[in-house]
Amino acid sequence: MSISSELRDDGVRVITMNAPPVNALTVQGWFDVAAALDAAGADPATKVVVLRAEGKGFNAGVDIKEMQHSSGFDALIGANKGCYAAFKAVYECAVPVVAAVNGFCVGGGVGLVGNADIVVASDDAFFGVPEVNQGALGAATHMARLVPQHMMRTLYFTARTIPAADLVQFGSVLEVVPREDLLDAALRVAGEVATKDTRVIRAAKEALNGIDPIDVNKSYRWEQGFTFELNLMGVSDELRDEFAGTSKSNGTSQTGSKESK
């Protein structure tokens, strides 16, 4: 897992996730994302953050190999805490976060993007929370920030995905561009924010979080509790093993298995 953080001359900080082959993050990877965002917000030179990823897609959830090769619930607890920390860091970053989404954005990826302030996406990007396939719950809190309630429930119960182009009509995705233009599009809108007085923008970020109708941190934590119940019942183990048996080619899960993204 590699997280890079680069501050540009205009005050735009680009944080890049790179965890081949599909950006499925380990427990430490989630905490690394959180640390990078926390550090970005704490740096007065940072005016806005662009969160992006290298490779085939933006994020494929939790690395299932780590789940499969652990005993007890250590990996489950670690993944839950790591995802919670990463999602919280996006939401509570002192400056706006622009998510630049390429390819697949599922499970934990939706947690990151749903908590971002602005979303741009490539024309091949799609979103989903197929947690139910692996006996986990989570990220409904964040998907509900991207689509209307009934659409969120449909996506959640069916494990369907939705293309980024469809989210433009809901206003949750600002624009969809060819993949080769994605970073430029994200930098363009981030640069626009960066031209404003950073004292005002930082105050605005805090103010907007304060008037949100849903406490995303508590809401997501509530979801995670049901994943723990499913694990204690043995349901998650059964479904995770079944999923892993059909996914040995890359050893990763799009949604994670023992944890709630």
Q: pLDDT class for 246, splitting at 50, 70, 90?
A: low
pLDDT, tens only, 111-161 = 999 999 999 999 999 999 998 988 889 999 999 999 999 999 999 999 999
The predicted structure's pLDDT at residue 260: 38
Does the pLDDT at position 82 exceed 90? Answer: yes
Cβ density class 20-36: b for 16+ within 10 Å, e for less: eebbbbbbebbbbbbbb
The predicted structure's pLDDT at residue 252: 37
Q: What average pLDDT does range 79-90 have in this prediction?
A: 96
**Selecting from 1.10.10.10, 3.10.20.30, 3.20.20.70, 3.90.226.10, what CATH number does the domain 2-179+200-245 have?**
3.90.226.10
Contacts of 8 (CB under 8 A, 6+ apart): 14, 187
CB 34 within 8 Å of CB 45: no
Percent of the chain with pLDDT over 70: 93
Q: What average pLDDT does range 197-222 have in this prediction?
A: 97
Does the pLDDT at position 257 exceed 70? Answer: no
CB 155 within 8 Å of CB 129: yes
Nearest to 173 by CA among 95, 83, 93, 58: 58
CB 258 within 8 Å of CB 76: yes
Q: pLDDT class for 204, splitting at 50, 70, 90?
A: very high
The predicted structure's pLDDT at residue 259: 36
Given the structure tokens 């995802």, which residue do they identify? Answer: 83
- How far apart are alpha carbons 164 and 175 in whole angstroms? 9
CB 96 within 8 Å of CB 198: no
